[in-house]
Amino acid sequence: APAARPPHVAMMVTPGMGHLIPLAELAKRLASRHGVTTTLITFASTASATQRAFLASLPPSVASLHLPPVDLSDLPQGSAIETLMSEETARSVGALTEVLTRLRETTRLVAFVTDLFGMDSFDAASSAGVERKYLFYPTNLHALTLMLHLPELDTSIPGEFRDLAEPVRLPGCVPIPGPDILAPLQDKANPCYSWMLHHAARCREADAILVNSFDAVEPDVAAVLRREEPGRPAVYNVGPLILTESKATGAGDRATAPAPSRAACLEWLDQQPAKSVIFVSFGSGGALPTKQMRELALGLELSGQRFLWVVRSPSDEGTVSDNYYDAESKKDPFIFLPEGFVERTKDRGFLVSSWAPQIEVLAHEATGGFLTHCGWNSTLESLVHGVPMVAWPLYAEQHQNAVMLAEGVGAVIRVPEPKEKEAIAAVVKELMAGEGRGAMVRSVVAELQKAGLQGLRDGGAATAALDEVANNGLLARTSPLARGTA
């Protein structure tokens, strides 16, 4: 009988492993705590080997399908990724409506969830008659606050953010200098700005907003958003959601599963002293311009520290590389390194091409630091494993994450401008062994690790927030969603 079927949630995931991984994790938590099954809906454009392998590894409670390919060839060359994701969503509304309509026939579909670039998919959810619509915000409360205020900032700031003399001050937030504000907001003439404004306005259509953050990492803004505000959906901090074992819900699976072959970089880490290695990686899409890549290599060499570096072919546009849609590096990235670098550092450096098992690296006892682009998933993974960070932001909201983490809680040290080898070596050494800033960052991160892990336990804040979403809204057919914890 239909009533016996488990409640089902459809989640539409815009491109990027950084969106897919936390949504899949949310799905797993809904399954284990609330008996909810999920269908993850992805785009054909991102059906990379990495993504396929990831989707195939998910437990049976989390199914997946991808939407038919969408033609984006009419968009100008070099369109921003935010524009591509938004266009792809808007052009998929018809196909998504059909998918949701079919899911309503075959499952007990109770809710639809999408991430921040997928706001137009709410139209499909409405057309298909899905009762509840949620926004999953894969970054943090600072970025969400900026989006919630964007319509008014658009009017009150006539020029560009990057030209502002004063930092942008928002309730509960660390002041963010104009040039560090979200990259897609930096040029009002670019279509991606209009798209962001569009998403900002539509955010408020959500029944509630789930954010992949936790109070300790941005306490003041958490307090602000916990308060009810007319016209704004309730905001729930459900993080830190990071990748966990796919079979984590079945006790004992880990012990009985055949031992998978271990990545060479982990074997290398096994040979290194505790907390002696800095892990260097720029997320699923980040790549450096050739010149910066060379400075980084020389800086790591000069620091004298052990390092494990995920090397990508350089992107000489200086922004996101074409790696974003497919995390395999296109060319052999090692040929771009300074002459003799590999040979000179072979005793204390290990290079990986394109992709490393990041969570296992961060969890390894030999890892003592992380030089990161401050993508939010990487940041959370680092905090959950108690690994202090050097911030080298590249694009999206990474610059404002770096400011917030450095000036707010103090969980990172930023690489000063210009990013030259001496400066890079100095911050790497300070993070790993310094007695000043480095020691402070290491102790702050140890505290944040405790808070983050505590939140995910029974009775913890993230668990309670998800329970509230489930019990008061998502799974309750009649009662309106109660407002509560941020």
376 binds ligand UDP, rule: CB under 6 A: yes
80 binds ligand UDP, rule: CB under 6 A: no
310 binds ligand UDP, rule: CB under 6 A: yes
Read off the tokens for 389.
């960070």
Size of interface with ligand UDP, in residues (CB under 6 A): 20
Residues 391-450 that bind ligand UDP (CB under 6 A): none
21 binds ligand UDP, rule: CB under 6 A: yes
Give the Cα separation of 255 and 253 in Å (integer): 5
CB-based contacts of 253: which residues, under 8 Å, 6+ apart? 245, 247
Based on CB atoms, which residue is closest to ligand UDP, 16 or 314? 16
Chain centroid offset of residue 458 CA:
24
H/E segment holding residue 256 = helix 253-256
Based on CB atoms, which residue is closest to ligand UDP, 143 or 174? 143
Which range of residues in 148-156, 267-275, 371-379, 450-458 is near ligand UDP by CB under 6 A?
371-379
Q: Which of 392, 405, 395, 404 is nearest to 444 (CA)?
A: 405
Quick one: which of 7, 15, 16, 299 contacts ligand UDP (CB under 6 A)?
16
378 binds ligand UDP, rule: CB under 6 A: yes
DSSP for 225-255, written as a single string? HHS--TTS-EEEE--------TTTTSTTHHH
Based on CB atoms, which residue is closest to ligand UDP, 20 or 425? 20
DSSP for 126-180, written as a single string? HHTT-SEEEEEESS-HHHHHHHHHHHHHHHH--S-GGG-SS-B--TTSPPB-GGG
359 binds ligand UDP, rule: CB under 6 A: yes
Closest approach of ligand UDP to the CB of residue 334, in Å: 15
367 binds ligand UDP, rule: CB under 6 A: no
Interhelix angle 17-34/376-384, rounded to 10 degrees, is 50
Residues 204-263 that bind ligand UDP (CB under 6 A): 243
184 binds ligand UDP, rule: CB under 6 A: no
Closest approach of ligand UDP to the CB of residue 418, in Å: 23
Chain centroid offset of residue 15 CA:
12
Interhelix angle 461-469/17-34, rounded to 10 degrees, is 80
452 binds ligand UDP, rule: CB under 6 A: no
Based on CB atoms, which residue is closest to ligand UDP, 295 or 381? 381
369 binds ligand UDP, rule: CB under 6 A: no
| Contacts to ligand UDP by CB under 6 A | 16-18, 21, 243, 281, 283-286, 310, 355-356, 358-359, 375-378, 381
